[in-house]
Structure 1
Amino acid sequence: MNYQYSKRFNQFTPSMIRQVLVDAAGPDMINFSPGFPDRESFAVEEIQKLSQEVLNDSIYEILQYAPKPAYTGLQKAIKTFFNSLEPVVKESDDIMITSGSGEGLEMAAKVFLDEGDYMVVEDPSFIGALNGFKSNNAKLIGVPMDDEGLDLELLEQAFQRKPQPKLLYTIPTFQNPTCLTTTLERRKAIYELCKKYHVLILEDNPYGTLRFKGTSVPGYKSFDDARIVIYLASLSKIISPGIRLGAIVADKDITDHFAIMKGASGGAATNWSQYVITRFLNTVDMKQHIKRVSEIYQRKSTLMVETMKKTFHPDVQFKAPDGGMFVWFTLPDKIKPESFLQAAVAKHIAIVPGYCFATNYPSQGFRLSFTSESPEQIVKGITMLGELTYELMNQ
């Protein structure tokens, strides 16, 4: 039978990250491609203990359908946790629990965008979000970034186009894939442009708590006086991705619409994870827990960057991140990204080229994850990549 797939589906291509893993596969593969947290960061004993407690105390509630889209106890715990970091949740806001932050991004596209509507994204940006937007037939306008964040002139030009974009998607802190943090001055300028042109901001903050040096920068939501920011956060990077829990913080009118959309698709998040993470947030010293996770990532990040300094060709550009999970490097124009990727894969090293994350602008960049490999594999893999930079520069 010849299956007739939708036009929407046909716009997608197979995941480059998945294909790189297939091509680089082997018993000696060094995997710098996934954005997976380090397993050593998981609070295994606490999760085991709290899981048993909630199974003993609330077994029937956990096994039953959830009576509401979100467990009230978790909403309260998340509000307390978020607001201990910065003033995220305001009096006019509500908190919606999602199955990871990706669900919130897709729902935002469904709730706010009609067929063929435009939205603005950072270029490059998180491929999972871009595909989620495309799956809802959104038209994406990529705006490049400099060292301080989105290019303001090009951003305003994007907002002035007709039909006017409705949404701006941004990862302002330790951006995926570049690990760039938008400065406070640039954030305020971007926010004022969004108010001027009546554009809603989707502020995605999965990495903001993973800072291991420097000073925290206030998020858009913390100074949102016009109620135009939809704040999305995930607990995947600081507790566990397997729990599949995220949260949306926005004006209650917005979350009410999101709740309707969620009811039409997946319903409520899993009861078990909501109950366990409620207890986790209420009983674990989150400041100390985040400090421990950040220290793990700082050690690995430092090791990767210092090895790059020793082994990469001096014309390759990169800098040490202040947090997050990635290092971004840019090849000189002489080296074709496709050639570098092929050479890395031939050595069984999985890396992700920047053109996977691009919308409108070509990229000489590559993303490296320092979280999923051992220190020994980091040194080995980065040293081999460094040798490749010299080989290809000398060709």
Structure 2
Amino acid sequence: MKYQFSKRFDQFTPSMIRDVLIKAAGDDMINFSPGFPDKKTFDVETIKKLSNEILDEDAYEILQYAMKPAYPGLVKSVKQFFNSLEPLVKEEDDIMITSGSGEGLEMAAKVFCDEGDTIVVEDPSFVGALNGFKSNNAKLIGVPLEKDGLNLELLEKAFQTKPTPKLLYIIPTFQNPTCITTSLEKRKAIYDLCVKYGVLILEDNPYGTLRFKGEMVPSIKSFDTENIVVYLASLSKIISPGIRIGTVVANKEIVDKFATMKGASAGAATNWSQYIITKFLNTVDMEEHIKKVSHIYKEKSTLMIETMKETFHPSIDFHAPDGGMFVWFTLPEAINADQFLDEALKKHIAIVPGSCFSTDYSNRGFRLSFTSEPPEQIVKGITMLGEITHQLYQS
């Protein structure tokens, strides 16, 4: 029979990241495409121990359906952890536990947007969020990023469109894919514009704890006095992505709507995951754990950047990140971006083109992840990419 799928699929194209992996596949593939944590950051023995403890304490409760949208013990522990970093969760706030932060992003479009409503996004931005917004039939307006965050003039112009956009989606710290950190000055200016135009802020912070250089910049949520910020974070990057625990922090009225939406779809997050993360936060020295994870990424990012400095053509624009999991570089007009990607794939190097992250598919940048490959593969892969930049620039 001929299947009739919903019209929302008309705006999707097959995943370019998946296509890149297929074309680069081989036993010798060097994979710079995924935002996967380094397996060395997983505290496997502690998680084994904690898992056995919670099963010994009450296996039947752990293996049963969760009775509440969130385990109260985890909500308390997450609040203490976040507030130990900065004054984030306020008295009027509540916390929703999600199955990874991606669920919270997708639910945000359902909670706030009707068919055809507009969401303003950084351009480029996280492809998972863009697809989640599109799947709920939201319209997207991309605002270019500068070295210190969004272009404020173009952001205000976007807010002046009619009808007024419902949301601004922003990753202000170690942005995915560019790893740009929005300055405190710009964060305050962005907040003021959102207050002026009545636009809610969807602040995504999956990488904020992975700082290995410079000083921490306060989250927008930390100075929100109008209750317009919905803050999403994930514990995937510092504990384990496989456990699938994300969080939504916002005014209680907003979190109630997220809880209702989650109940209509996936129900609560798994008991096992919630209890494991609760014990982890309560028993592990999180400051030391985060230092360990950040040190691993500092060494790998430094290695990637230094190798790029040595091997890439000098016309290539890139900068060393202060944290996070990615390096972003932009090709000059003299190098054809499609040809560069083809040459990389021929050498079995998987990289993600900037067009994946752009609202109009026009970006000439590329994202590299330094987290999942070992040091020797980083040097080998970056050196080969450097050779391609010289070959194509000369031609």
- 1:245-269 superposed Cα distances (whole Å, 9 cap, x missing partner): 0000000000001111000000000
Give the drift of 1:152: 0.4
- Deviations 1:50-103, CA, capped at 9 Å, x for gaps: 000001002111111111000000000000000000111000000000000011
SS of 1:250 mapped into structure 2: strand
Check whether the contact 1:122–1:145 (CA below 8 A) recurs between aligned residues. Answer: yes
User: Which secondary structure state, in structure 1, belongs to the residue aligned with residue 180 of structure 2?
Assistant: coil
Give the equivalent residue in structure 1 for 2:325: 325
Contact 1:174 1:323 in 2 (8 A): yes
2:4 alignment partner AA:
Q
Residue of structure 2 in register with 1:161 after alignment: 161
- What TM-score results when the alignment is normalised by the length of structure 2? 0.99
2:194 paired residue number: 194
| Match status 1:50 vs 2:50 | yes
Structure 1 residue 224 and structure 2 residue 224: aligned?
Answer: yes
Aligned equivalents of 2:392, 2:16: Cα separation in 1: 22
Deviations 1:19-73 (A, max 9, x none): 1000000000000000000000001111010000001002111111111000000
Q: Tell me the SS of whatever aligns to 1:182.
A: coil
Tell me how far 1:131 sits from its aligned partner.
0.1
2:142 match: 142
- In 2, the alpha carbon distance for the partners of 1:63 and 1:394 equals 62
How far apart are the structure 2 equivalents of 1:313 and 1:381?
Answer: 15
Number of residue pairs the alignment of both structures matches: 395
Paired with 2:81 and 2:288, the residues of 1 have a C-alpha distance of 13
Q: Is the CA contact 1:37–1:372 (under 8 Å) kept in the aligned structure 2?
A: yes
Distance, in Å, in 2 between the alignment partners of 1:259 and 1:186 is: 32
Partner of 2:276: 276
Secondary structure of the corresponding residue to residue 145 of structure 2: strand
**SS class of match (2:141):** strand
**d(CA) in 1 for partners of 2:338, 2:22:** 16
SS in 2 for 1:94: strand
Mapped to 2, the partners of 1:362 and 1:45 lie a distance apart of 45
Q: Is the 8 A contact 1:144 1:361 kept in 2?
A: no
Compare 357-366 and 277-286 and name the one that shifted more. 357-366
How many angstroms does 1:362 deviate by?
2.2
Give me the identity figure in percent: 75
Give the stretch that moved more between structures: 3-12 or 70-79. Answer: 3-12
Where do 1:66-77 residues align within 5 Å? 66-77=66-77
Letter in 2 for 1:167: L
CA distance in 1, matches of 2:217, 2:361: 27
Contact 2:354 2:361 in 1 (8 A): no
* SS of residue in 2 equivalent to 1:247: strand
Q: Secondary structure at the match of 1:304?
A: helix
SS at match of 2:83: helix
| Conserved? CA contact 1:142–1:361, under 8 Å | no
> In 2, are the aligned partners of 1:304 and 1:370 still within 8 Å (CA)?
yes
Deviation at 1:370, TM superposition (A): 0.2
1:174 and 2:167 aligned: no
Q: Write the distance in 1 (CA, Å) between the matches of 2:163 and 2:343.
A: 43
Matches for 1:1-395 after TM superposition, within 5 Å? 1-360=1-360, 362-395=362-395
Answer yes or no: is the 8 Å Cα contact 1:77–1:281 preserved in 2. yes
* Contact 1:105 1:132 (C-alpha < 8 Å) held by counterparts: yes
Displacement of 1:137 in angstroms is 0.1
Residues in 1 aligned to 2:167 and 2:320: alpha-carbon distance in whole angstroms? 31
Q: Give distance in 2, aligned partners of 1:227 and 1:164.
A: 18
Q: Which amino acid aligns with 2:3?
A: Y
Contact kept? 1:101, 1:233, Cα under 8 Å: yes
Distance (Å, rounded) in 2 between the aligned partners of 1:336 and 1:291: 40
Q: Distance in 1 between matches of 2:82 and 2:329?
A: 32
Q: Does the 8 A contact of 1:123 with 1:361 survive in 2?
A: no
CA-atom RMSD in angstroms: 0.6
Cα pair 1:141 1:360 within 8 Å, conserved? no
Q: Secondary structure at the match of 1:315?
A: coil
Distance in 2 separating the partners of 1:181 and 1:271: 35
Q: Render the CA deviation track for 1:206-245: whole Å, top value 9, x for unaligned.
A: 0000000100000000000000000000010000000000
Aligned partners of 2:31 and 2:373 also within 8 Å: yes
Partners in 1 of 2:26 and 2:34 — Cα distance?
16
In structure 2, give the amino acid aligned to 1:156: E
CA drift of 1:336 comes to 1.4
Amino acid at match of 1:221: K
Q: Which amino acid aligns with 1:187?
A: R
Instruction: Give me the whole-angstrom Cα distance separating, in 1, the residues matched to 2:58 and 2:197.
Output: 48
Return the letter of the residue paired with 1:318. F
Q: Which amino acid aligns with 2:322?
A: D
Kept in 1, the 8 Å contact 2:115–2:137? The answer is: yes
**Shift of residue 10 of structure 1?**
2.4
> What TM-score do you get using the length of structure 1 for normalisation?
0.99
Superposition deviation, residue 361 in structure 1: 6.8
Q: Which amino acid aligns with 1:142?
A: G
- Give the gaps of 5 or more residues in structure 2: none
